[in-house]
Amino acid sequence: MAPRKLAAGNWKMNGTLAALAEIDQLLADHPQPDCDVLICPPATLIHPMVGRAAGSVLNVGGQDCHAGAPGAHTGDIAAEQLHDAGASHVILGHSERRSDHGDTDADVHAKSVAAHQAGLVAVICVGETEGQRDGGQTLDVIASQLAGSVPDCATAANTVIAYEPVWAIGTGRTPSNDQIAEVHALMRDRLAARFPDGGDFALLYGGSVKPGNAAEIFAIAHVDGALVGGASLKAADFGPIIAALAAS
Ligand code: 13P
């Protein structure tokens, strides 16, 4: 089984109810793309987006979850609550959660287990800082984050890995094709060595993916899709990225 292709949008802390019009446009333009499509809006929009996307190809996900059961954790959301709201996926370990909220690999590991127990697909993010790349540490950092963040219960069906170099997020800068290929080959090797179906995990690239560079990125070996920030907010930008992935 080859990895499934996935075009995933991370809306981050953007969007109000009015932004759901973008979903209508996206689905009108791409009703049956030849790839999976996911948008992870802010928590306030998960349930209304699920309703708006009912019967369509669009999957809806969260951007983080708590590792524990529902209880006294003000401001947090349990994995089972995301599932109850209609989410199918949850992004975990995004670099903005790691830097803004101090999420460690151990936290991401625990949250991933909670996501799996709730029936969610965990989209686990890894990525080096610019200093780590300049210091020649990229492959060690990625291998270490993978080992620490991905739990033993991960399978190709319940886990997606996203390589997002921190210095490429929201900057308009992207790694070279060779740099992306090198990291994705490492991730594929490590997953295949650890999991019986490690060859089938979908591996996404994220960081300044745009309509203009998507096709080139999707042609790189072991790139099975993208995790898109800014360019996922507008149907006019995300639509061509979906089309490029479907055609790849
Ligand atoms: P940009 O596509 O805006 O660079 O963001 C990438 C990202 O962080 C997706 O999770």
Query: Looking at residue 180, which CATH number applies to its domain?
Result: 3.20.20.70
Average pLDDT over residues 8-23: 98
CA–centroid distance, 127 to ligand 1, in Å, is: 12
Of the residues 83, 109, 164, 222, only one is catalytic, namely 164
Q: What number of CA atoms fall less than 13 Å from residue 146's CA on the CB side?
A: 27
100 lies in a domain? Answer: yes
Average pLDDT over residues 162-178: 97
237 lies in a domain? Answer: yes
Average pLDDT over residues 147-170: 97
CA–centroid distance, 247 to ligand 1, in Å, is: 22
pLDDT band (50, 70, 90) for residue 2: confident
Query: What's the structural domain count of the chain?
Result: 1
Residue 93 has what pLDDT? 98
Residue 210 has what pLDDT? 98
Ligand 1 within 6 A of 174 CB? no
Ligand 1 within 6 A of 237 CB? no
Average pLDDT over residues 124-147: 98
C-alpha dist (Å) from residue 83 to 38, 57, 118, 127: 14, 17, 7, 27
Residue 179 has what pLDDT? 98
Residue 95 has what pLDDT? 98
Is the confidence at residue 1, as pLDDT, over 90? no
**How confident is the model over 38-70, as pLDDT tens digits?**
999 999 999 999 999 999 999 999 999 999 999
40 lies in a domain? Answer: no
Ligand 1 within 6 A of 10 CB? yes
- The number of the ligand 1 atom at minimal distance from the alpha carbon of 228 is 2
**Dist. CA 154–CA 194, nearest whole Å:** 10
Q: Is 116 a catalytic residue?
A: no
pLDDT band (50, 70, 90) for residue 7: very high
Ligand 1 within 6 A of 158 CB? no
Ligand 1 atom 1: residue of nearest CA: 229
Residue 125 has what pLDDT? 98
Ligand 1 atom 2: residue of nearest CA: 229
Residue 51 has what pLDDT? 97
Average pLDDT over residues 207-232: 98
Q: Is 164 a catalytic residue?
A: yes
**Dist. CA 34–CA 36, nearest whole Å:** 7
5 lies in a domain? Answer: no
| Best probe residue, ligand 1, of 228, 233, 237, 241 (max atoms within 8 Å of C-beta) | 228
Is the confidence at residue 117, as pLDDT, over 80? yes
| pTM, to two decimals | 0.98
39 lies in a domain? Answer: no
- The number of the ligand 1 atom at minimal distance from the alpha carbon of 94 is 10
- The number of the ligand 1 atom at minimal distance from the alpha carbon of 95 is 8
How are beta strands 159-163 and 202-206 bridged, if at all?
Answer: parallel
20 lies in a domain? Answer: no
- The number of the ligand 1 atom at minimal distance from the alpha carbon of 168 is 4
**How confident is the model over 53-112, as pLDDT tens digits?**
999 999 999 999 999 999 999 999 999 999 999 999 999 999 999 999 999 999 999 999
Q: Are 78 and 66 in contact (CB under 8 A)?
A: yes
Q: For the beta carbon of residue 178, count every other beta carbon within 10 angstroms.
A: 9
Residue 219 has what pLDDT? 98
Ligand 1 within 6 A of 206 CB? yes
- The number of the ligand 1 atom at minimal distance from the alpha carbon of 171 is 4
Ligand 1 within 6 A of 121 CB? no
124 lies in a domain? Answer: yes
191 lies in a domain? Answer: yes
Average pLDDT, the chain: 97
**Dist. CA 164–CA 129, nearest whole Å:** 10
Range of the domain at 195: 90-248
